[in-house]
Amino acid sequence: MIAPPPTVKNEPLWKKHCRKVRALAQRIISNEVGVIEGSRQMLKFRVWLQAEKDEDFLTFVGVDSESHHLPVGNVRTHWQPEALEKKDEEIAALEEFYRKNVVEAAARIKAKYE
């Protein structure tokens, strides 16, 4: 396991975040969570783990940047079905395009925080 950064004040909490980021990485790898939604969730861990300079997290930053306008997760309940149909095509294309890179980054993060 990677050692906590020297700025970490609460090591048990940091280790808890490590467990959670590993679990999220596994859900991304096994396709239980989509590329876009998983990338957005990874951004929280980038901050919580104080890993802003970790290049493996940059993949998720890129996906989030390219997909910020797309409705995934709970926000979909606020969209009209007709609008979602068009966005779903865009979501599918973006997820297919980034899937390989996201899975590879998730695998590296999972191993790093083991």
Give the pLDDT score at 106: 98
List Cα–Cα distances, 107 to 63, 70, 77, in angstroms.
16, 25, 31
Q: Residue 5 falls within a domain, yes or no?
A: no
Q: Residue 36 falls within a domain, yes or no?
A: yes
Q: Residue 39 falls within a domain, yes or no?
A: yes
Express each pLDDT in 49-89 by its tens digit.
Answer: 999 989 999 999 999 999 999 999 889 999 999 999 999 99
Q: In the chain, how many domains are there?
A: 1
Q: Residue 100 — pLDDT band, cuts 50, 70, 90?
A: very high
Inter-axis angle of helices 55-67 and 81-112, to 10 degrees?
Answer: 180
Give the pLDDT score at 113: 95
Express each pLDDT in 12-51 by its tens digit.
Answer: 999 999 999 999 999 999 999 999 999 999 999 999 999 9
pLDDT at 1 over 90: no
Q: Residue 33 falls within a domain, yes or no?
A: yes
Q: Residue 6 falls within a domain, yes or no?
A: no
Domain that holds residue 98: 11-112
Residues 18/109, Cβ–Cβ less than 8 Å? no
- The pTM of this model reads 0.91
Q: Residue 4 falls within a domain, yes or no?
A: no
